[in-house]
């Protein structure tokens, strides 16, 4: 399945956060929300990306835009990851790949010539109408959060 594109309705999902609280994407209707997908907790790139979102959190908060990070890691793994790096935003656990597949980010990946299926690091800005406003496919861990803030500033 191809990655979602701007203008498409974002598929609703309900996933547990790092504290076991169920979170539905549709709860955010009426405001924008950042949904970013990443491969794995506590790996170098994913840690840099999460920490960059953590550092940018006050900016997102001032704009009234929540950030949701999604991977297939367990709630317990997310809790440890959030605690270890003082992450101030929500991490959602998707071990069944419900949202990951619905957003089209479960794709074939090549690493050192080995082909496997995995999460392609991607970020979506969901508009207040529930449609995909912007997509950052193959997002770079170090610049992703700032790219989104730059986009939001241009749109103001």
Residues 7-35 have pLDDT tens digits of 999 999 999 999 999 999 999 999 999 99
> For all residues of the chain together, what is the average pLDDT?
95
Angle formed at CA 112 by CA 106 and CA 113, multiple of 5 degrees: 80
Domain 38-155 class in CATH: alpha beta
Phi, psi angles (nearest 5°) of residue 81? -60, -45
Instruction: Quickly state the pLDDT bin for 128 (edges 50, 70, 90).
Output: very high
Q: Closest Cα to residue 41, out of 13, 3, 79, 67?
A: 79
> Any idea which residues carry the catalytic annotation?
46
Phi, psi angles (nearest 5°) of residue 133? -90, -45
What per-residue confidence (pLDDT) applies to 78?
97
Rounded Cα distance between 115 and 112, Å, is 8
Helix (H) / strand (E) element for 92: namely strand 90-93
Rounded Cα distance between 132 and 5, Å, is 7
SS3 7: coil
| pLDDT tens figures, 63-121 | 999 999 999 999 999 999 999 999 999 999 999 999 999 999 999 988 788 999 999 99
Task: Decide if pLDDT at 53 tops 80.
Answer: yes
pTM value?
0.95
Q: What percent of the chain has pLDDT over 90?
A: 91
């Amino acid at each position: 399945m191809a990655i979602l594109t701007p203008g498409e309705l974002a598929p609703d999902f309900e996933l547990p956060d790092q504290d076991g609280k169920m979170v539905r994407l549709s709860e955010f209707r009426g405001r924008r929300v950042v949904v970013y997908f990443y491969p794995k907790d506590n790996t170098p790139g994913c840690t840099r990306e999460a920490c960059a979102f953590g550092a940018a959190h006050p900016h997102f908060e001032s704009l009234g835009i929540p950030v949701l990070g999604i991977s297939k890691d367990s709630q317990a793994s997310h809790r440890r990851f959030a605690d270890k790096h003082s992450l101030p935003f929500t991490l959602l656990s998707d071990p069944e790949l419900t949202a990951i597949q619905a957003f089209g980010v479960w794709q074939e990946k090549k690493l050192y010539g080995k082909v496997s299926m995995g999460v392609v690091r991607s970020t979506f800005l969901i508009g207040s109408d529930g449609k995909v406003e912007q997509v950052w496919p193959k997002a770079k861990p170090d610049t992703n959060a700032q790219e989104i803030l730059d986009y939001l500033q241009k749109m103001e």
